[in-house]
């Protein structure tokens, strides 16, 4: 089953290993109990995925994760910093995503639309204050990135999206449903 690893040279293994670190951070991000911690872990996740994608030659994925670093930084401060509360940030981030996607289509083809949809879902999810809503909307990003990762040969990316979907479901079951049940009792 792991025979494909013997066909990888040391550089390919290194690139995949960066993805493994990104995957670990991404999966753990959805187990955080508050919004700021989820976003902080997501920023670190985006840094690692940016490097991984560019090294794979997945242009759209690398550029969109680079925007994800910027987006996460803005949204980290959204609740408690006045400058980050402007609705203009949505427009700026969505315009960056659209511009990068338009250019990425010239590099990667129409497949660049998949991570764009994922980034848009994640952008709106990270702007939310309620961790439950962050998890639910983030869930819809994963199938888009899963397909993109399959096409670009990101083994950790494929595994990540499967695990992230499971992690989000686990986070909802472990954290959010007990809170909802408790609120209904009160």
Tens digit of each residue's pLDDT (9 = 90 or more) over 43-52: 999 999 999 9
How much of the chain exceeds pLDDT 70, in percent? 96
Which residues constitute the domain of residue 38?
Answer: 17-181
Number of domains in the chain: 1
Residue 117 forms part of a structural domain = yes
Whether 115 is in a domain gets the answer yes
pLDDT reading at 1 higher than 60: no
Judged by average pLDDT, the poorest of 17-26, 54-63, 122-131 is 122-131
Identify whether 2 is part of a domain: no
Q: Quick check: is 6 in a domain?
A: no
Q: Does a structural domain hold residue 7?
A: no
Task: Report if residue 11 sits inside a domain.
Answer: no
> Does position 3 have pLDDT exceeding 70, yes or no?
no
| b/e 120-151 (16+ beta carbons within 10 angstroms → b) | bbbbbbbbbeebeebbbbbbbbbebbbbbbee
- Is 5 contained in some domain? no
Tokens of 111: 């497949």
């Amino acid at each position: 089953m792991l025979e494909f690893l013997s066909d990888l040279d040391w550089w390919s293994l290194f690139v995949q290993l960066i993805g493994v670190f990104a995957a670990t951070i991404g999966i753990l991000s959805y187990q955080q109990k508050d919004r700021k911690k989820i976003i902080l872990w997501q920023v670190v996740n985006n840094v690692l995925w940016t490097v991984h994608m560019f090294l794979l030659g997945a242009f759209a994925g690398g550029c969109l994760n680079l925007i994800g670093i910027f987006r996460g930084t803005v949204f980290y401060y959204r609740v408690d910093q006045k400058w980050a509360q402007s609705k203009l940030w949505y427009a700026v981030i969505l315009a960056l995503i659209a511009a990068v996607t338009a250019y990425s289509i010239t590099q990667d083809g129409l497949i660049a639309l998949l991570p764009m949809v994922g980034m848009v879902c994640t952008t709106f999810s990270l702007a939310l204050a309620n961790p439950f809503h962050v998890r639910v909307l983030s869930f819809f990003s994963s199938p888009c990135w899963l397909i993109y990762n399959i096409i670009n040969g990101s083994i950790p990316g494929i595994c990540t999206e499967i695990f992230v979907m499971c992690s989000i479901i686990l986070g909802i079951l472990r954290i959010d449903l007990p809170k909802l049940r408790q609120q209904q009792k009160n």
